[in-house]
Structure 1
Amino acid sequence: MVTTIHEETNAAKRFFGLLAVITGARCGELTQLTKADIYEDGDNGLLCIDINANNGKALKNKASARVVPLIDGAFGFRSEEFREYVASLPDEENSSVFRMSRDVASKWFNEVILPKAIENRSGDLVLHSLRHTMATLLKHAGVAESTAQDVLGHTNQSITFNLYGKTKSVNLMAEALKQALPEPAGLQHARV
């Protein structure tokens, strides 16, 4: 029986779950990712996901379009393994990286992973709760609210932040995520 994401034998499900944990991305954002949306940022060598509305993908709002760096080691995520998984996928245009609908991915996570990962889980904790957890981790790590909003794709009403438009620093977001999601010393896989 699967007790954590790391024990999931289906690579698509395992990587979907890990990306949900380490990015705080919405379920629909992750299930719409295509092979073209996974890339290495040339400026700093970080593996990133590009959450966008290209080729008919839907976003919650304009702020949802963003690039999020994937932090190697966070909760046991290994970027090289994910690179290899993505490279093994067919080059079909608009084909989902995880090959699951939003409903299938959410149901799997909520019914298989969460009950095993969180003892005495209340019914109101679901996949989407990871976004709240990510926001809390970023806040407790002292990450600037504007950077946290960039990571999570939240709409920002501040005139000051809106003046800077879409220019977001992948490096700044990566440092914020590293700060909020450190790899536990001596622990290869957190219980997720």
Structure 2
Amino acid sequence: MLAFAVEEKTKNKQSRRLVPVHRTLLAVGLQDRIALLRKNGADRLFPDWFRDGQAMMQRAEGKKRAVNQPYSQFIPRWFNRTYLPKLGIHDQNKVFHSLRHTLKTALKLAGVPKSVRDEIAGQDDRSAGAGYEHETSLTVLRDALDKVEFDLPAQGNK
């Protein structure tokens, strides 16, 4: 089963996780993109983002500033300022984090338990009982994600 490994510098322990790849991404050729990236020597799905995050940390070190989460700073900014306008989306309520809200709402409407929704999204359940629960299997996470349908534009509209 193909999964995203969310690692590197993350906000907290819960942010580091494996998330199964949704079947829609497989259907539109994610595995082909991965094969091409590997052929070109890349070891990240978004090598430009990784490179830019590393550069941001180096610049900050030179200025004696700490940048603990470079990716959470520049990726949302790029998405909001560059990508959304390119798509013609100018609604100030539609931002990078809308993706998480939309996914969590869709999972809830599909009947996925809160603990599984939180694990997929990398969020922490701070309830007393949560300490007794441990990782959910990738199969359960994949099955939960597969309850959600995504409408993607036709391939020619990239």
Report 1 or 2 for greater relative contact order, CA contacts < 8 Å, sequence distance ≥ 6.
1
Q: Deviations over 1:126-175 (max 9, x none)?
A: 1122111111111111111111011001011133332123x221111111
Structure-2 change in CA distance of 1:157 and 1:107 (3 Å): closer
- How high is the TM-score relative to the length of structure 2? 0.68
> Which residue does 1:139 correspond to in 2?
108
Matches within 5 A, 1:76-91: 77-90=28-41
- How high is the TM-score relative to the length of structure 1? 0.58
> Which residue does 2:63 correspond to in 1?
none
> Which residue does 1:49 correspond to in 2?
4
Structure 1: how far apart are the matches of 2:113 and 2:46? Answer: 31
Report how far residue 97 of structure 1 moved: 3.8
Do residues 129 (structure 1) and 98 (structure 2) align? yes
Q: Kindly tell me the number of residue pairs found equivalent between the two proteins.
A: 136
Of 141, 148, 152, which residue of structure 1 is paired with 2:117? 148
> Which residue does 2:23 correspond to in 1?
72
Task: Write the letter of the residue equivalent to 1:48.
Answer: A
Structure 1: how far apart are the matches of 2:28 and 2:14? Answer: 26
Q: Contact 1:49–1:67 (CA<8 Å) still a contact in 2?
A: yes
Going by fraction, where is helix more abundant, 1 or 2? 2
> Which residue does 2:80 correspond to in 1?
110
Do residues 175 (structure 1) and 124 (structure 2) align? no
Quote the sequence identity (%): 24
Structure 1: how far apart are the matches of 2:102 and 2:16? Answer: 20
Report how far residue 72 of structure 1 moved: 2.6
In structure 1, stretches of 5+ residues that fail to align are 1-45
Task: Write the letter of the residue equivalent to 1:70.
Answer: V
In structure 2, stretches of 5+ residues that fail to align are 54-70
Report how far residue 125 of structure 1 moved: 2.1
Structure-2 change in CA distance of 1:83 and 1:181 (3 Å): same
How well do the aligned residues superpose, as a CA RMSD in angstroms? 3.0
Do residues 160 (structure 1) and 111 (structure 2) align? no
Secondary structure at the aligned position of 2:145 is classed as helix
Larger radius of gyration: 2
Do residues 58 (structure 1) and 9 (structure 2) align? yes
